[in-house]
Protein backbone atom coordinates (compact mmCIF):
# COMPACT_ATOMS: atom_id res chain seq x y z
CA UNK A 1 0.00 0.00 0.00
CA UNK A 2 1.50 3.34 -1.07
CA UNK A 3 1.98 6.17 1.40
CA UNK A 4 -1.01 8.42 0.67
CA UNK A 5 0.80 11.53 1.85
CA UNK A 6 3.64 10.88 -0.61
CA UNK A 7 1.16 10.57 -3.48
CA UNK A 8 -0.57 13.84 -2.57
CA UNK A 9 2.77 15.67 -2.44
CA UNK A 10 3.91 14.21 -5.74
CA UNK A 11 0.64 14.92 -7.54
CA UNK A 12 0.64 18.55 -6.46
CA UNK A 13 4.19 19.01 -7.72
CA UNK A 14 3.43 17.19 -10.98
CA UNK A 15 0.45 19.48 -11.67
CA UNK A 16 2.55 22.57 -11.07
CA UNK A 17 5.35 21.21 -13.23
CA UNK A 18 2.97 20.32 -16.08
CA UNK A 19 1.77 23.94 -16.11
CA UNK A 20 5.34 25.20 -16.35
CA UNK A 21 6.10 22.84 -19.24
CA UNK A 22 3.15 24.24 -21.20
CA UNK A 23 4.39 27.82 -21.15
CA UNK A 24 4.89 29.29 -24.63
CA UNK A 25 8.43 30.29 -23.73
CA UNK A 26 9.48 26.61 -23.76
CA UNK A 27 8.85 26.51 -27.52
CA UNK A 28 10.66 29.82 -27.93
CA UNK A 29 13.69 28.35 -26.17
CA UNK A 30 13.51 25.19 -28.29
CA UNK A 31 13.76 27.25 -31.45
CA UNK A 32 16.68 29.26 -30.07
CA UNK A 33 18.63 26.10 -29.18
CA UNK A 34 17.82 24.47 -32.54
CA UNK A 35 19.32 27.44 -34.35
CA UNK A 36 22.21 27.95 -31.96
CA UNK A 37 23.33 24.31 -32.03
CA UNK A 38 23.05 24.33 -35.82
CA UNK A 39 25.41 27.32 -36.02
CA UNK A 40 22.75 29.86 -36.93
CA UNK A 41 23.35 33.18 -35.22
CA UNK A 42 21.35 33.85 -32.03
CA UNK A 43 21.98 35.85 -28.90
CA UNK A 44 24.28 34.07 -26.44
CA UNK A 45 22.15 31.51 -24.61
CA UNK A 46 22.31 31.09 -20.83
CA UNK A 47 22.01 27.94 -18.72
CA UNK A 48 22.38 27.50 -14.95
CA UNK A 49 23.27 23.92 -13.82
CA UNK A 50 22.97 23.94 -10.03
CA UNK A 51 22.42 20.24 -9.25
CA UNK A 52 25.16 20.08 -6.64
CA UNK A 53 23.52 22.84 -4.57
CA UNK A 54 20.27 20.89 -4.11
CA UNK A 55 21.16 20.17 -0.48
CA UNK A 56 20.84 23.89 0.23
CA UNK A 57 18.02 24.88 -2.10
CA UNK A 58 15.40 22.16 -2.58
CA UNK A 59 16.35 19.17 -0.40
CA UNK A 60 15.17 20.87 2.82
CA UNK A 61 11.68 21.00 1.26
CA UNK A 62 11.41 17.26 0.62
CA UNK A 63 8.36 15.63 2.23
CA UNK A 64 8.02 12.15 0.70
CA UNK A 65 9.04 9.28 2.97
CA UNK A 66 9.34 6.51 0.39
CA UNK A 67 12.82 6.74 -1.25
CA UNK A 68 11.33 5.93 -4.66
CA UNK A 69 8.87 8.82 -4.56
CA UNK A 70 11.33 11.07 -2.73
CA UNK A 71 13.71 10.83 -5.69
CA UNK A 72 11.04 12.00 -8.10
CA UNK A 73 9.92 14.69 -5.67
CA UNK A 74 13.49 15.99 -5.67
CA UNK A 75 13.50 16.15 -9.48
CA UNK A 76 10.17 17.98 -9.62
CA UNK A 77 11.21 20.52 -6.99
CA UNK A 78 14.49 21.02 -8.81
CA UNK A 79 12.69 21.72 -12.09
CA UNK A 80 10.20 24.08 -10.47
CA UNK A 81 13.07 26.08 -8.97
CA UNK A 82 14.83 26.05 -12.35
CA UNK A 83 11.77 27.77 -13.80
CA UNK A 84 12.31 30.72 -11.47
CA UNK A 85 15.80 31.44 -12.86
CA UNK A 86 14.63 32.76 -16.24
CA UNK A 87 17.61 31.26 -18.04
CA UNK A 88 17.25 29.34 -21.33
CA UNK A 89 16.69 25.92 -19.78
CA UNK A 90 13.88 23.96 -21.42
CA UNK A 91 11.51 22.17 -19.04
CA UNK A 92 10.21 19.11 -20.85
CA UNK A 93 6.65 17.74 -20.34
CA UNK A 94 7.65 14.37 -18.96
CA UNK A 95 9.34 12.78 -15.98
CA UNK A 96 11.98 10.09 -16.40
CA UNK A 97 12.00 6.72 -14.69
CA UNK A 98 15.24 4.80 -15.16
CA UNK A 99 14.97 1.21 -16.33
CA UNK A 100 16.54 -1.35 -14.01
CA UNK A 101 19.75 -2.38 -15.72
CA UNK A 102 21.49 -5.65 -14.96
CA UNK A 103 25.20 -4.98 -14.48
CA UNK A 104 28.09 -6.86 -12.84
CA UNK A 105 27.67 -6.86 -9.05
CA UNK A 106 31.06 -5.30 -8.38
CA UNK A 107 30.90 -2.51 -10.91
CA UNK A 108 30.27 -1.82 -14.60
CA UNK A 109 33.62 -3.34 -15.58
CA UNK A 110 33.55 -6.18 -13.06
CA UNK A 111 35.90 -5.26 -10.19
CA UNK A 112 34.57 -3.13 -7.39
CA UNK A 113 35.98 0.41 -7.12
CA UNK A 114 36.39 1.16 -3.44
CA UNK A 115 35.95 4.68 -2.09
CA UNK A 116 37.86 5.98 0.92
CA UNK A 117 35.58 8.68 2.36
CA UNK A 118 36.49 11.85 4.15
CA UNK A 119 35.38 12.29 7.74
CA UNK A 120 33.87 15.67 6.82
CA UNK A 121 30.28 16.15 5.64
CA UNK A 122 30.35 16.32 1.83
CA UNK A 123 34.13 16.21 2.04
CA UNK A 124 36.59 14.83 -0.48
CA UNK A 125 37.15 11.11 -0.95
CA UNK A 126 39.68 8.86 -2.70
CA UNK A 127 39.45 5.94 -5.08
CA UNK A 128 41.10 2.63 -4.31
CA UNK A 129 41.56 1.48 -7.93
CA UNK A 130 41.24 -2.28 -8.51
CA UNK A 131 43.77 -2.55 -11.37
CA UNK A 132 46.93 -2.30 -9.31
CA UNK A 133 49.05 -4.73 -11.30
CA UNK A 134 49.10 -5.08 -15.09
CA UNK A 135 47.70 -8.62 -14.86
CA UNK A 136 44.67 -7.32 -12.98
CA UNK A 137 43.04 -6.44 -16.33
CA UNK A 138 42.06 -10.12 -16.46
CA UNK A 139 39.42 -9.28 -13.85
CA UNK A 140 37.53 -7.02 -16.28
CA UNK A 141 34.30 -8.24 -17.86
CA UNK A 142 32.84 -7.47 -21.27
CA UNK A 143 29.84 -5.10 -21.01
CA UNK A 144 26.41 -6.49 -21.87
CA UNK A 145 23.20 -4.50 -22.22
CA UNK A 146 20.52 -6.27 -20.17
CA UNK A 147 17.30 -4.84 -18.71
CA UNK A 148 15.45 -6.39 -15.78
CA UNK A 149 12.02 -6.13 -17.37
CA UNK A 150 10.05 -7.19 -14.30
CA UNK A 151 11.65 -4.60 -12.01
CA UNK A 152 11.42 -1.93 -14.70
CA UNK A 153 7.72 -2.57 -15.22
CA UNK A 154 7.09 -2.57 -11.48
CA UNK A 155 8.72 0.82 -11.00
CA UNK A 156 7.03 2.28 -14.07
CA UNK A 157 3.64 1.10 -12.80
CA UNK A 158 4.19 2.67 -9.38
CA UNK A 159 5.02 6.04 -10.87
CA UNK A 160 2.28 5.83 -13.48
CA UNK A 161 -0.33 5.01 -10.84
CA UNK A 162 0.81 7.99 -8.80
CA UNK A 163 1.07 10.73 -11.45
CA UNK A 164 0.69 9.17 -14.90
CA UNK A 165 -2.66 10.86 -15.45
CA UNK A 166 -0.96 14.25 -14.95
CA UNK A 167 2.33 13.98 -16.82
CA UNK A 168 3.96 11.52 -19.21
CA UNK A 169 6.19 8.89 -17.64
CA UNK A 170 9.22 8.23 -19.82
CA UNK A 171 11.25 5.05 -19.27
CA UNK A 172 14.97 5.55 -19.94
CA UNK A 173 16.27 2.25 -21.33
CA UNK A 174 19.62 3.48 -22.66
CA UNK A 175 22.58 1.24 -21.78
CA UNK A 176 24.48 1.70 -18.55
CA UNK A 177 27.57 2.36 -20.68
CA UNK A 178 26.48 5.79 -21.84
CA UNK A 179 27.02 9.41 -20.75
CA UNK A 180 29.90 9.45 -18.21
CA UNK A 181 30.20 5.67 -18.38
CA UNK A 182 31.01 5.86 -22.10
CA UNK A 183 33.76 8.46 -22.30
CA UNK A 184 36.42 5.87 -21.27
CA UNK A 185 38.37 8.57 -19.40
CA UNK A 186 36.19 8.62 -16.28
CA UNK A 187 36.17 4.87 -15.73
CA UNK A 188 39.82 4.45 -16.68
CA UNK A 189 40.86 6.79 -13.86
CA UNK A 190 38.56 4.95 -11.45
CA UNK A 191 39.94 1.56 -12.45
CA UNK A 192 43.63 2.40 -12.60
CA UNK A 193 44.05 5.59 -10.59
CA UNK A 194 44.55 9.07 -12.04
CA UNK A 195 48.29 9.38 -11.47
CA UNK A 196 49.04 5.80 -12.47
CA UNK A 197 46.98 6.21 -15.65
CA UNK A 198 49.31 9.03 -16.71
CA UNK A 199 52.44 7.08 -15.77
CA UNK A 200 51.16 4.22 -17.94
CA UNK A 201 51.26 6.47 -20.99
CA UNK A 202 55.05 6.55 -20.56
CA UNK A 203 55.90 3.30 -18.77
CA UNK A 204 53.31 0.87 -20.18
CA UNK A 205 52.01 2.37 -23.44
CA UNK A 206 51.26 -0.90 -25.26
CA UNK A 207 49.52 -2.33 -22.21
CA UNK A 208 47.44 0.85 -21.91
CA UNK A 209 46.51 0.72 -25.58
CA UNK A 210 45.23 -2.80 -25.02
CA UNK A 211 43.11 -1.70 -22.05
CA UNK A 212 41.73 1.30 -23.96
CA UNK A 213 40.84 -0.89 -26.93
CA UNK A 214 39.04 -3.33 -24.59
CA UNK A 215 37.02 -0.48 -23.07
CA UNK A 216 36.23 1.10 -26.46
CA UNK A 217 35.07 -2.19 -27.93
CA UNK A 218 33.05 -3.04 -24.82
CA UNK A 219 31.22 0.29 -24.87
CA UNK A 220 30.53 -0.03 -28.60
CA UNK A 221 29.21 -3.56 -28.12
CA UNK A 222 26.87 -2.62 -25.26
CA UNK A 223 25.57 0.38 -27.15
CA UNK A 224 25.02 -1.72 -30.29
CA UNK A 225 23.14 -4.32 -28.23
CA UNK A 226 20.88 -1.56 -26.91
CA UNK A 227 20.29 -0.34 -30.45
CA UNK A 228 19.43 -3.85 -31.66
CA UNK A 229 17.03 -4.21 -28.73
CA UNK A 230 15.30 -0.93 -29.61
CA UNK A 231 16.37 0.67 -26.32
CA UNK A 232 17.67 4.02 -27.60
CA UNK A 233 14.95 6.71 -27.66
CA UNK A 234 14.73 10.43 -28.22
CA UNK A 235 14.89 11.09 -24.49
CA UNK A 236 18.51 9.86 -24.62
CA UNK A 237 20.02 12.97 -26.21
CA UNK A 238 22.98 14.27 -24.14
CA UNK A 239 25.07 17.39 -24.76
CA UNK A 240 25.42 19.19 -21.39
CA UNK A 241 23.06 21.85 -22.70
CA UNK A 242 19.69 21.73 -24.42
CA UNK A 243 20.03 18.90 -26.98
CA UNK A 244 18.20 20.45 -29.88
CA UNK A 245 19.52 20.89 -33.42
CA UNK A 246 17.96 21.30 -36.83
CA UNK A 247 19.82 18.22 -38.07
CA UNK A 248 18.37 15.86 -35.44
CA UNK A 249 14.89 14.99 -34.19
CA UNK A 250 13.85 16.83 -31.03
CA UNK A 251 13.94 15.18 -27.61
CA UNK A 252 10.67 13.36 -27.07
CA UNK A 253 9.04 11.05 -24.55
CA UNK A 254 7.37 7.76 -25.39
CA UNK A 255 8.63 7.80 -28.95
CA UNK A 256 9.72 4.80 -30.95
CA UNK A 257 13.21 3.36 -31.04
CA UNK A 258 15.94 5.34 -32.76
CA UNK A 259 19.52 4.78 -33.82
CA UNK A 260 22.47 6.49 -32.18
CA UNK A 261 22.82 8.48 -35.39
CA UNK A 262 19.66 10.37 -34.45
CA UNK A 263 20.98 11.44 -31.05
CA UNK A 264 23.41 13.87 -29.44
CA UNK A 265 26.20 12.41 -27.34
CA UNK A 266 28.46 13.99 -24.76
CA UNK A 267 32.14 13.12 -24.26
CA UNK A 268 34.79 14.51 -21.93
CA UNK A 269 38.22 13.72 -20.53
CA UNK A 270 38.74 15.76 -17.40
CA UNK A 271 41.30 13.23 -16.26
CA UNK A 272 43.73 14.11 -19.07
CA UNK A 273 43.75 17.86 -18.46
CA UNK A 274 47.50 17.85 -17.73
CA UNK A 275 48.38 15.48 -20.56
CA UNK A 276 50.02 16.87 -23.70
CA UNK A 277 47.94 17.29 -26.87
CA UNK A 278 49.87 14.45 -28.53
CA UNK A 279 49.19 12.04 -25.67
CA UNK A 280 45.58 13.25 -25.44
CA UNK A 281 45.22 12.33 -29.10
CA UNK A 282 47.01 8.98 -28.85
CA UNK A 283 45.59 7.70 -25.57
CA UNK A 284 42.14 9.25 -25.44
CA UNK A 285 40.52 10.90 -28.47
CA UNK A 286 41.56 8.13 -30.86
CA UNK A 287 39.55 5.72 -28.67
CA UNK A 288 36.66 8.07 -27.90
CA UNK A 289 36.05 9.14 -31.51
CA UNK A 290 34.73 5.75 -32.77
CA UNK A 291 32.16 5.79 -29.95
CA UNK A 292 31.13 9.42 -30.46
CA UNK A 293 30.91 9.13 -34.24
CA UNK A 294 28.15 6.51 -34.00
CA UNK A 295 25.91 9.38 -32.82
CA UNK A 296 24.47 12.26 -34.79
CA UNK A 297 26.30 15.11 -33.06
CA UNK A 298 28.93 15.31 -30.32
CA UNK A 299 29.54 17.82 -27.53
CA UNK A 300 33.03 17.64 -26.02
CA UNK A 301 34.35 18.79 -22.68
CA UNK A 302 33.28 19.46 -19.13
CA UNK A 303 35.68 21.10 -16.65
CA UNK A 304 38.96 20.33 -18.42
CA UNK A 305 41.08 23.05 -20.05
CA UNK A 306 40.98 22.30 -23.80
CA UNK A 307 42.85 25.44 -24.90
CA UNK A 308 45.78 23.47 -26.40
CA UNK A 309 43.70 20.55 -27.66
CA UNK A 310 41.11 21.99 -30.02
CA UNK A 311 43.06 20.88 -33.10
CA UNK A 312 42.92 17.32 -31.76
CA UNK A 313 39.16 17.57 -31.20
CA UNK A 314 38.67 18.52 -34.86
CA UNK A 315 39.37 14.87 -35.66
CA UNK A 316 35.93 13.97 -34.27
CA UNK A 317 33.92 14.15 -37.49
CA UNK A 318 30.53 14.96 -35.90
CA UNK A 319 31.83 17.44 -33.29
CA UNK A 320 29.50 20.38 -32.78
CA UNK A 321 30.06 21.83 -29.27
CA UNK A 322 33.30 22.53 -27.35
CA UNK A 323 33.43 23.42 -23.65
CA UNK A 324 35.59 26.36 -22.59
CA UNK A 325 36.09 25.73 -18.88
CA UNK A 326 36.99 28.21 -16.12
CA UNK A 327 40.72 27.48 -16.45
CA UNK A 328 40.71 27.79 -20.23
CA UNK A 329 41.95 30.85 -22.14
CA UNK A 330 38.71 32.16 -23.63
CA UNK A 331 40.43 34.36 -26.21
CA UNK A 332 42.69 31.59 -27.52
CA UNK A 333 39.82 29.11 -27.58
CA UNK A 334 37.62 31.56 -29.47
CA UNK A 335 40.35 32.17 -32.03
CA UNK A 336 40.61 28.42 -32.69
CA UNK A 337 36.90 27.60 -32.56
CA UNK A 338 35.72 30.53 -34.67
CA UNK A 339 32.29 29.83 -36.07
CA UNK A 340 33.05 26.17 -36.83
CA UNK A 341 31.56 24.94 -33.54
CA UNK A 342 29.51 26.17 -30.61
CA UNK A 343 31.72 27.71 -27.91
CA UNK A 344 30.19 26.74 -24.57
CA UNK A 345 31.80 29.06 -22.03
CA UNK A 346 31.72 27.92 -18.38
CA UNK A 347 32.63 30.77 -15.97
CA UNK A 348 33.99 29.87 -12.55
CA UNK A 349 31.12 29.23 -10.11
CA UNK A 350 33.43 30.01 -7.18
CA UNK A 351 34.07 33.50 -8.53
CA UNK A 352 30.48 34.13 -9.61
CA UNK A 353 28.09 32.72 -6.97
CA UNK A 354 29.71 30.30 -4.50
CA UNK A 355 31.98 32.55 -2.44
CA UNK A 356 30.10 35.80 -2.15
CA UNK A 357 28.28 37.56 -4.97
CA UNK A 358 29.51 40.70 -6.72
CA UNK A 359 27.13 41.86 -9.48
CA UNK A 360 29.73 44.26 -10.88
CA UNK A 361 32.27 41.46 -11.18
CA UNK A 362 29.74 39.19 -12.91
CA UNK A 363 28.84 41.90 -15.39
CA UNK A 364 32.49 42.68 -16.10
CA UNK A 365 33.56 39.04 -16.48
CA UNK A 366 30.72 38.24 -18.87
CA UNK A 367 31.43 41.36 -20.93
CA UNK A 368 35.10 40.40 -21.23
CA UNK A 369 34.35 36.82 -22.30
CA UNK A 370 31.74 37.85 -24.87
CA UNK A 371 33.97 40.59 -26.21
CA UNK A 372 36.87 38.22 -26.97
CA UNK A 373 34.53 35.60 -28.45
CA UNK A 374 32.73 37.91 -30.88
CA UNK A 375 32.01 36.04 -34.08
CA UNK A 376 31.61 32.72 -32.24
CA UNK A 377 28.37 30.88 -31.50
CA UNK A 378 28.47 31.31 -27.71
CA UNK A 379 26.41 29.97 -24.87
CA UNK A 380 27.13 30.50 -21.18
CA UNK A 381 26.75 27.66 -18.69
CA UNK A 382 27.20 28.25 -14.97
CA UNK A 383 27.80 24.76 -13.59
CA UNK A 384 29.40 22.80 -10.74
CA UNK A 385 27.75 25.05 -8.18
CA UNK A 386 28.50 23.35 -4.89
CA UNK A 387 27.07 26.12 -2.72
CA UNK A 388 25.36 29.48 -2.89
CA UNK A 389 25.89 29.96 0.85
CA UNK A 390 22.15 29.38 1.38
CA UNK A 391 21.29 32.37 -0.83
CA UNK A 392 19.50 30.89 -3.87
CA UNK A 393 18.50 34.36 -5.01
CA UNK A 394 22.09 34.70 -6.24
CA UNK A 395 21.26 32.34 -9.10
CA UNK A 396 18.28 34.41 -10.19
CA UNK A 397 20.29 37.62 -10.04
CA UNK A 398 23.20 36.03 -11.88
CA UNK A 399 20.92 34.85 -14.69
CA UNK A 400 19.28 38.29 -14.90
CA UNK A 401 22.62 40.09 -15.18
CA UNK A 402 24.03 37.64 -17.71
CA UNK A 403 20.92 37.80 -19.88
CA UNK A 404 21.16 41.57 -19.77
CA UNK A 405 24.77 41.52 -20.93
CA UNK A 406 24.15 38.79 -23.50
CA UNK A 407 21.39 40.85 -25.11
CA UNK A 408 24.05 43.40 -26.04
CA UNK A 409 25.66 40.74 -28.24
CA UNK A 410 22.52 39.60 -30.06
Burial zone of 167 (CB within 10 Å; 0-12 exposed, 13-18 middle, 19+ buried): buried
Strand positions, DSSP E, 4-162: 45-48, 94-98, 114-117, 125-128
Q: What is the pLDDT of residues 164-194, one digit of tens each?
A: 999 999 999 999 999 999 999 999 999 999 9
**Residue 275 banded pLDDT, cuts 50, 70, 90:** very high
Burial zone of 10 (CB within 10 Å; 0-12 exposed, 13-18 middle, 19+ buried): buried
**Residue 1 banded pLDDT, cuts 50, 70, 90:** low
Residues 77 and 54: their CA atoms lie apart, in Å, by 10
Closest Cα partner for 265 from 220, 309, 308, 310?
220
Beta-sheet pairing, 377-382 with 45-48: parallel
For the domain made up of 4-407, give the CATH fold. TIM Barrel (3.20.20)
Domain ranges of the chain: 4-407
**Residue 127 banded pLDDT, cuts 50, 70, 90:** confident
Three-state secondary-structure class, residue 318: coil
Predicted model pTM? 0.95
Is the pLDDT assigned to residue 104 strictly greater than 90? Answer: yes
Residues 349 and 385: their CA atoms lie apart, in Å, by 6
The reported pLDDT for the residue numbered 126 is 80
Amino acid sequence: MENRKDIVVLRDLAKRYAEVCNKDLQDERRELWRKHNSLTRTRPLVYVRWFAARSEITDPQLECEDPFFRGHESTLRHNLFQDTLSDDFILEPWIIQEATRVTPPGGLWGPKIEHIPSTEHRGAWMFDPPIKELDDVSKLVVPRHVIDEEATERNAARLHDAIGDIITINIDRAPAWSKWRADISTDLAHLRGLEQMMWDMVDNPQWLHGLLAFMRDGILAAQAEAEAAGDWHLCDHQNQAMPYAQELPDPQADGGSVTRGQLWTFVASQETTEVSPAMFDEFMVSYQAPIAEKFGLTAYGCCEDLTRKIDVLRKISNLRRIAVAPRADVRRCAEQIGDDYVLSWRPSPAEHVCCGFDPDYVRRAVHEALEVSKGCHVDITLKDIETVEHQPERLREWARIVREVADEYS
